[in-house]
A and B are shown apart, each in its own frame.
Chain A
Amino acid sequence: MLLALPGCRQSPDPSQGRVVVEYWEKWTGFEADAMRAVVDDFNASQNRIYVDYTSTSQIDRKLMLATAGGVPPDLAGIYSSRLPVYAENNALMPLDKMAADAGITRDRYIDIFWQMSMHRGHLWCLPSTPSCTALIWNKKMFRDAGLDPEKPPRTIAELEQDNQKLIKRRPDGSLQSIGYIPEVPGYWDPLWGYFFGGSLWNGRDAITATDPGNVAALQWIASYPKRFGVHDLLTFCDGFGSLASPQNPFFNGRVAMIMDGVWDYNFIKNYAPANFEWGVAPFPSADPVTLKDVTIVEMDGLVIPAGAKHPKEAFDFIQYVNTQKPMEKLCLLQRKFSPLRECSAQFYRDHPNPCIATFVKLAKSPNARPVPPLAMWMQYQNDMMNAVNRVWTGKAQPEQALERVQERDSQAFARTQARWHRLAPLLTAEWSKQP
């Protein structure tokens, strides 16, 4: 009897005979709840489709296996940086035709987010929530160091000048606090070149790890262990508590400036002291004229895996999410900004993050840049991170570290290119027969 229990217990079917769209999402916690609210709205708004929403960890792995096994969900939420590898390996359904039929075009979106949804000339996803990075600084620490709390640095040189003034040492000479340190939070190590005019590939047929901009960025990174000593720097960093705690070095006054995504607000709200004074500005770059408002953009996208049973119904939901009201609800609940060009004044009024407009401005900047759209990006990223770490710990010179990446990942790039050229005729033929 026990054996029959969970397997056979009939739960009341909430779909009531409607077409069930199986939707896997990577979010958990309040972010998952935000999307759940939108799903509930959608399910209540009509009686033809029922979206069955499951939030699951390690969605990448799960989605890949399920798609390879031919039993994918109808809809999934993934990071846009994963689009190229999924698309080139035949894991996704192109959305061009369905989007065109629904009248969804690029002018509905902040430019970069539409670009990020495209790969190899096809549309693969539509945004759910976007993000971008900015400088966030502690005004009180600026004031205490005799700096203008309303004047954040605009160039890397200014950043380092302020940094110098913000350094405090303990009586024994060890670091007490610092103005800026690239390792906090350390999420974007492979992309520092963007702030020095660098690129990670040439847009066509080669990766460019050794681009002068990337070298300049790593030289900047290398200046830290040179200035402070590897051991002292590591000891200083190891004293940082978890980012999701009041011991976050930015909240307890050990670091005055950080670069972080729009979600940093959630951390501030949960863990920073009540009187924490902070501001948001574009992160400094090497040159304020040619490199104005540089930001790293990221996006969560809704995709339809290849082999999905109900692509049309899944797209109906994507279309619903990509209209102004549901999108604003989702982004507001996740405390992000809307990827849509049109955004209501109400959204800004209701938004708990007082600096949300700065993030929107950055996302619209011509220097808003995502990770390179490469199928081998994950490996490239790991290797770049390793290079930065080696430079950071004084184990390698910037040029030498980047050359190693260039060599290793050129091979990986050649492999993915070869695979693409082999599959392309087949895939493009298939993609042209879109539903």
Chain B
Amino acid sequence: MNAREHNRWVSPAVLAVLIIIGVAFLAPFAWMISTSLKPLNETMTLPPHWLPSHPQWRNYPDAIAGMGDFWRYAANTLYLCVLCVIGTVASSALAAYGFSRIEWKGRDQLFLVLLGTMMIPFPVIMVPIFTLFRNLGWIGSFKPIWVPAFFAGAFNVFLLRQFFFGLPRDISEAARIDGCSEFQIFMWVVLPLCRPALLVVALFQFMFTWNDFLGPLIYLTRQDHFTLALGLQSFQSQNGGTEWHFLMAASTLVVLPVLILFFFTQRSFIEGIAVTGGKN
């Protein structure tokens, strides 16, 4: 916003402040990476050492080997992410459109209900939902994890609805006068304008599915269905102590793809949320 800020010192000052806070934000992460390169007996030492005496690059292949079938888990995770992203983006966009760009009786009341669903603590409904999936014969398959994504999560509908509200009325009206159906307006007028907003939903969903632990823990029963987040547990042994160096190496590997994804999309990701119509 302040590209035209005249004071010359503002930009360096802001940069300095951000770097200082940034270092604080990075510190735990840096420690994670440093631990991932230490031999086991150098993790958790007193006083803490920032650098391993000899970087143990072997921890990475060892962690991959120690996790069981790392690549299989990665493929499973990716598979679930892709399905969940497709389902969420499609269904949330539809629902958000219905909640924002069409006026109908009871809409705002129903939207409050949608908001309400976010407030339901998951453990409360866990058992009935589990029973439901069991009756459908889905336990032990990937379905309980990806099918619900096709039913528009409240968070994403809320997010998209805010964007849709920001689009000026007239763009739909113009299309409506041209004789477009509501679905055509959605597909060909509104969606193209909020493609970047959809990217946001997609990315959020991707990250959620990528790191989700509880869902896979409950529903997946076979080791060859495990996801990466579930695989991380294999380094926490009950009586032998946690293998910190492997846990951290594997965590780094798990974080890395999402990190890279975010780094390269952050610009359109952030600007995407912008309500295109509001900018002149």
Interface residues in chain A, defined as those with a beta carbon under 8 Å from any beta carbon in chain B = 2-3, 5-7, 11, 22, 24, 26-32, 52, 54-58, 61-62, 65-66, 68-71, 73, 239, 241-247, 252, 261, 263, 266-267, 270-271, 334
Contact = CB atoms under 8 A, between A and B. Distances in A.
Interface of B: 40-41, 43-46, 72, 75-76, 78-79, 82-83, 126-127, 130-131, 133-134, 139-142, 217-218, 221-225, 233-244
A57 B45 contact: no
A28 B243 CA distance: 11
A69 B46 contact: no
Contacts of B218: 61-62, 65
A266 B240 contact: yes
17 contacts: A6-B75, A7-B141, A7-B142, A28-B234, A28-B237, A29-B237, A54-B223, A57-B233, A58-B217, A65-B127, A68-B130, A244-B241, A244-B244, A247-B46, A266-B240, A271-B41, A334-B239
Nearest to A70: B134
Contact of B134 (A71, A242, A334): A71
Contacts of A244: 44, 240-242, 244
B130 A69 contact: yes
Contacts of A70: 134
A267 B241 contact: yes
The CB with the most chain B CB atoms within 10 A, among A27, A55, A56, is that of A56
A7 B79 contact: yes
B230 to A, nearest CB: 8
Is the contact region of chain B dominated by helix, strand, or loop, or is it mixed? helix
The CB with the most chain A CB atoms within 10 A, among B142, B235, B239, is that of B239
A245 B139 contact: no
B43 A245 contact: yes
Contact of A30 (B76, B236, B237): B237
A31 B241 contact: no
Contacts of B141: 7
A247 B45 contact: yes
Nearest to A4: B79
B72 A6 contact: yes
Contacts of A245: 41, 43-45, 241
A26 B82 CA distance: 30
Given A27-B238, A29-B240, A31-B239, A65 B41 contact: no
Contacts of B233: 28, 56-57
B79 A247 contact: no
Contacts of B224: 11
A241 B241 contact: no
A69 B240 contact: no
B237 A65 contact: no
B46 A26 contact: no
B239 A266 contact: yes
A350 to B, nearest CB: 19
B139 A66 contact: yes
Given A56-B217, A65-B126, A65-B130, A6 B239 contact: no
Nearest to B80: A6
Nearest to B240: A266
Given A6-B76, A22-B221, A71 B44 contact: no
Nearest to A244: B241
Given A54-B223, A271-B241, A69 B139 contact: yes
A68 B45 contact: no
A261 B241 CA distance: 13
Contacts of A56: 217, 233
A150 B140 CA distance: 55
Contacts of B240: 29-31, 244, 263, 266-267, 270
B44 A241 contact: yes
